[in-house]
Chains A and B, each alone.
Chain A
Amino acid sequence: MFEARLTSAATLKKVLEAVKELLNEASFDCSDSGIQLQAMDNSHVSLVSLTLRSDGFDKYRCDRSLTMGMNLASMSKILKCANNDDTVTIKAQDDADTVTFVFESKKQEKISDYEMKLMNLDQEHLGIPETDFSCVIRMPSVEFARIVRDLAQFGETVLICCTKEGVKFSVSGDVGSANVKLAQTNNFDKEEESVSIEMQEPVSLSFACQYLISFTKATPLSPRVQLSMSSNVPLVVEYEIAELGYIRYYLAPKIED
């Protein structure tokens, strides 16, 4: 028996919004410790890694580890039927071929359940090596989303250059070029608005704007985002999900011909 309950369906809706642009379907691995999802997009350029810890749920029970392959478009249709403040419970029997979502309104006057067929997804698990990153940038997630959206209008590739002074995002295309420089702030009063950089050595890497835009769909999950970069390894874009876990996106760089 598997059962996981969250008092606010809004969180699950935001999690799904954060993954469904990159993935059509995904396996949710459920165990004692929580729910994990790891999948690459179809083109194998980006990878989504989601962890929802069992202690972050209002109720969590997982008698036997199980993998639930879900079509994310179908899951999205179901979650649209929940109000943001509904309690959501995800249920499955051991070895089941369906999963059930139960939505309960705050006053319990409305209870709905939606059963969805599970899929057999033959997804391989990837070992992600631990990396000591040359640069780790922390900034407001809204600011990152804004920069990516603004710059993507002018080109397909963004060059991210990080030094100890700050981080520069640059794009060039048919129209011309655009640069956004963010200096490191020492804004201790408003930590949420600060830009901080931990740098071992400067890094310059190019990435496809289209993927970064997809990653920023996670913005509603967290006020902060962390970008980790080292030369010639994938970028890691991480959003913490308060008291529940995190979503990390890995993006392979673009390399000059």
Chain B
Amino acid sequence: TATQVRLDGFFTVV
């Protein structure tokens, strides 16, 4: 099985 990653870790809040 594969776990879905969230996007938050990839982008920074500006």
Given contacts A45-B6, A255-B3, 5 further A-B contacts (CB under 8 A): A124-B13, A125-B14, A206-B2, A254-B2, A257-B2
The answer to whether A253 touches B14 (Cβ under 8 A) is no
Q: Are A44 and B8 in contact (CB under 8 A)?
A: yes
Chain B residues, Cβ within 8 Å of A44: 6-8
Please name all residues of chain B whose beta carbon is closer than 8 Å to the beta carbon of A206 when the two chains form the complex: 2
Interface residues on A, range: 20 to 34
Could you tell me which residues of chain A, from 49 to 91, have a CB within 8 Å of some CB in chain B? none
> What residues on B are CB-neighbors of A255 within 8 Å?
2-3, 5
Chain A: CB-nearest residue to B13 = A124
A253 to B4, CA, bound (A): 6
- Contact indicator A127/B3 (Cβ below 8 Å): no
Query: Which chain A residue lies CB-closest to B11?
Result: A126
Q: How far is the CA of A218 from the CA of B2 in the complex (A)?
A: 27
Kindly state whether residue A199 has any CB partner on chain B within 8 Å. no
Smallest Cβ distance from B8 to chain A, in angstroms?
6
Given contacts A125-B13, A126-B13, A127-B13, contact A257 B1 (CB under 8 A): yes
Q: In this complex, what residue of A is CB-closest to B5?
A: A252
Give A208 to B2 CA distance when docked, in angstroms.
Answer: 10
Residues from chain B with Cβ under 8 Å of A128 in the complex: 11
Q: Using CB atoms and an 8 Å cutoff, list the residues of chain A in contact with chain B.
A: 40, 43-47, 124-129, 157, 206, 208, 233-234, 250, 252-257
Most central of A43, A129, A234, A252 by chain B CB within 10 Å: A252
Query: A257 touching B3 by the CB < 8 A rule?
Result: yes
User: Which B residue sits closest to A159, measured CB to CB?
Assistant: B2
**CA of A129 to CA of B11 in the docked complex: distance in angstroms?**
7
Name B2's closest neighbour in chain A (CB-CB): A254
List residues of chain A with CB within 8 A of the CB of B5: 45, 252-255
User: Could you list 21 A-B pairs, sorted by A, with CB under 8 Å?
Assistant: A40-B7, A45-B6, A45-B7, A46-B7, A47-B7, A126-B12, A126-B14, A127-B11, A127-B12, A127-B13, A127-B14, A129-B11, A206-B2, A208-B4, A250-B7, A252-B4, A252-B5, A252-B7, A254-B5, A255-B3, A256-B2
Which residues of chain A are within 8 angstroms of B11 by Cβ–Cβ distance?
Answer: 47, 126-129
User: Which of the residues B2, B6, B10, B12 comes within 8 Å of A43, measured between beta carbons?
Assistant: B6
